[in-house]
Structure 1
Amino acid sequence: MSQEIELQGEIAPHQLGQRLDQALAELFPDYSRSRIKEWILADRVTLDGQLVNKPREKVFAGQQVLLSAVLEDEVHFVAQDIPLDIVYEDDDILVINKPADLVVHPGAGNPDGTVLNALLHHYPPIAEVPRAGIVHRLDKDTTGLMVVAKTVPAQTHLVTALQARDITREYEAIAIGTLTAGGMVDAAIGRHSTHRTQMAVKELGKPAVTHYRVAEKFRSHTRLRLRLETGRTHQIRVHMAHLSHPLVGDQLYGGRARLPKNATPELVTMLRGFKRQALHAAMLELAHPITGELMQWHAPIPDDMVSLTEVLREDTKQNPVEEY
């Protein structure tokens, strides 16, 4: 069984000169570049009303895109009885609080045991929605709130809201080093040129903006609250590493344990044993995709980050003068 949906968008100024398949992959991030290329070759894309079937075609700012997509049910993914911490659910959406060590979508190395497999078990009709309703992701070891669409109309509205930056996502994080004040990182992100599993700040990457403020200072770490304007892969982790303040526990981006002088034994143990990035999606706010009602959810800080915070406070009390 398949279904047709229409995706609409406008080529942004920064996309001037991009290949068509590249530009559409950025406009419609729920779909892979290879799938978009197939749709282009199948005469399913128009620019300003004109059929375009060459993936390498260069695009211009302001062009109106219409993509008539054919989607197959996600029948190759299996339903699995994996517990979900459901914060909210109605006929159109559900909001979950994702734990650490849970992948959102099957992929290389994780063929099942994911949020998607759990969603198929929890609500079987979601198989009719692309990607089982998943409209944004959290990294495997990032905890916190995710919204999922239970119907195609709800998903279409949520994707549009994400692209328009109308969904507010606020995160809690603990970074290495002391930041004196909040700020904004406006630095494009792209695939790392040599380490293909990593992202990096790149001049020709996709625009990425992160706002952050200091929530609490310790003598050698900082607790932060961050808001995303964009949702690039690993965005907060890359941007904080770019500021030379990687997140505690982030093995991929330089957050390996750094022990301050005279650290308490508890802090030494905590930092050496903290094996995931200290990042939690704490607040989610959006207009309901069908009713338009403004809704907001909060997820409590997970126990491991609460414990880390308490140990950092105690270490700071015992070492009131900064030492490195």
Structure 2
Amino acid sequence: MLHIKTPKSGRARRELKKIAPKLVETGKKTLILHGTKTSNVINSVLTEIYHLKKDNAVKYTKRNDNIRPFESGGETSLEFYSLKTDCSLFVFGSHSKKRPDNLVIGRTYDHHIYDLVEVGIENFKSMQSFSYDKRFAPLIGSKPFFAFIGEGFENIEELKHIKEVLLDLFHGQAVTNLNLAGLDRVYVCTAVSSNKVFFTHCALRMKKSGTIVPRMELVEVGPSMDLVIRRHRLADESLRKQSMKTAPELKIRKEKNVSRDVIEGKIGKVYIPDQQVGSVPLPNKSKGLKRERREAKTKGEGKTHVDKKPKQQDS
């Protein structure tokens, strides 16, 4: 029998409650790791990804010799770090002669590897290489726009996969309400070929247009790079089905006899049972005779007043 340890202090109970499964999950944290050997380009890329996700990321600077995400057994340490830091996304950078400037982006489910995308970094430009007015620099934690340009993101399997991973990596925390004034950045991804994506980060600049709607301009603020897809691994079918399950409390129940229309909005149908009017006894409260007598009295019609004879007294 396994011995189950229960937390003794309130602090331990609060920490376990934070990492426990929730009906509505909070924002996904990203774990940033270094491989056995890294180049200056990979170091800069990892640093700038951490800067873009500084509000929701954990970065390790120590070299990791035993992490190989695509090899069996090489993902044990990665899953341990994911459990330790409570991160469901990770970015792993490495450099070798066979795969120079290599970047692996992956997702985890229940702290097990879910899917992986391996890309090579080319034509990298850091944030310091762009000159612009610092007043229009995006704020940390602001919600971004995403622009995916090219039909390949809908047709090619590799590009569809990297689109999902990039959206998960940079979209931030899911919110119900959004202030348009806080939208100050956009990530532009362009499909150059079937296995190459141009990725850049731009700031949104609002200018006067003579109307209520301002004119938007894109100012490239970096980083900018080409992502060459080398390897990718989709999620296992059983693990994918398990991750797509929805809690019964969050399932939307269908409303009976209710439909929605674009113009009229919410439309409902009300069913009234058949009313048996003929068999229902009605009270007899006719007031017609009373009204006729009242009218006759006012007009002086009807019977004349007759004086009553006095009663005779017996003598």
Q: TM-score range by the shorter chain?
A: under 0.3
The TM-score normalised by the length of structure 2 is: 0.25
Higher CA-based Rg? 2
